[in-house]
A and B are shown apart, each in its own frame.
Chain A
Amino acid sequence: MSSEEKRDEIAAVVEPVFRGGPLWKRPAGKVLIIWVPMTIIGLLLAFFAPGHLFPENMSAEQEDVKTTFILFTALAAPVAAVVWGIALYSIVGWRKKSGKSDTPPEDGPPIRGGTIATTIWLGTSVILVVVLLVWGMAELSSELAPQQNAMQVNVTGQQWQWTFSYPGTGVTSTQLIVPEGRQIHFHVTSEDVTHGFWPVQLGVQIDANPNVTTLISATPNKLGTFDVRCSQICGLNHAYMETTGTTVTQAQFNAWLVSHGASATSVHSYAMSAK
């Protein structure tokens, strides 16, 4: 590119952004006037909407989902506002002919590109992607880290119900009962087709496949009931393949196992089974 062309480009693209009269009279300033409130609305939504939209948190994992959702929305808001701000301003500020006119307006400035604009745009998106990625990987590795007091629950899907068993105790149930404050390792399999094991308020899910066992873990941190649904279409009654889960205290949990026929010793060793 000749130096003259380069100067042309700067004149066409950069000048109206960085130079040429007071900011509010330049296109960049006018877009900024739209961008600021849009970004603020986006940030307000990011911080206050998820609390109303998601169900109550019942696990550390679900808290992560909500936090990540807030963070990503906050990062996305200014980006969306740039695109929408320019689009909106172009309609009010740069519209030269009404949509009813049969002849086009005069040609616009022949801007064929802008190295500075492109570099800023690409640089910003690279930085954002790195942030998203590092955040996601950190979060994932902390979720996967096994905890001291973890315990195992076996989950079996079949058309169209869930069965839960507590290894060593001989207890099986169609209701999921878990103790609060311990990492639960769900070992998930299926007797027939693929199902999706999804304890909703625990914020995790994993498919149940025949002949293999898949793993997912969650740490319930609140007492109460949650929903267990099937997230993978599995035939006729897929919609009704749901049950309730309950988070109880460790003492209540032990008592529940005993009341369902587990021996006191098996319950004791199961309850101590830290992995």
Chain B
Amino acid sequence: MIETIYIEDDVEAHPRARRLLDRFPAARVIPCGRYTEVFNPAAQSFRLQKENPALILARKRGNLVLEAPPELGIGEGPGFYFSHMLNCLYDCRYCFLQGMFRSAHYVLFVNFEDFEAAIDDTLTDGGEKPSYFFSGYDCDSLALESLSGFVERFVPFFAVRPGAVLELRTKSVAIRSLLAMTPSPNVVVAFSFTPAEAAAAIEHGAPRVGQRVRAAAELAAAGWPVGLRLDPLLWYDGWRAGYATLIDGLAAAIPAAAIHSASLGPLRFPSKMFQRIHRMYPEDALLSGPLARRDDFVSYSAAREAELVGFVEERLRRAFDDIAVFFFTPRAT
């Protein structure tokens, strides 16, 4: 439930903003010059704001599409990301957003048309290999679909651009709008998973793992390419059994032919970000666990990381014939 909406003066007349204001007639509406006035001030408490985040309606100006870090790749072509939203409905304790942003308010950039133009510009510059576009970098791609209408607008946009692949990264089971569309071979719906017991303890507010598996299976049955994102990989009491159960469950529900790719990422935080997050949640078991500083990151030991990646990769390859497995440093979702 959105109780407070901040709106940049500049987007007050934008049709997407108007629709949202109409949708929440009881919300207090607070005008602001630039969203950064609300979102960026220092000394805000992300944790306290998470109790009741507001919605900020803004215009994204400049840097609409950015080059993705190479480790995010799920194919051979160049990678890009764009963020129509900042922040997420869920509250995963390993999420880097809580260490990166000062505010937990949801920022929705309503000028989708400018993102589309920027994506087209990027494609014009592209080579022969498809370009990959990631939308779930600073938010969950689907979780706030009922607010944003992102999927409804961008999936048809990408469907007619075969030179581009869109990855929707999510933990949400809000798949109704996708099921209502004709599946696009170049739109990958990538679900993030950790074993059920870890997810229940750490991924606050996110749908249960069983629900996510069912949503992925439904989309696969409808003809959508599905991605499996097992990151971050978590080390906890019983992790082997947890990952084995998770992967067996995925294999039982989703045919290998429907899997676009899997990717694995170790749990790693930039050191300063880890300090910020741990200070915010000193009582959290994951953050208080056996993590140590390695170079500029806080992570499990190299041996533990290798053990996790090795075990999970082996189980995935055993469960899904010819699965494409990628490895990267995790960010959001």
A binds B: no
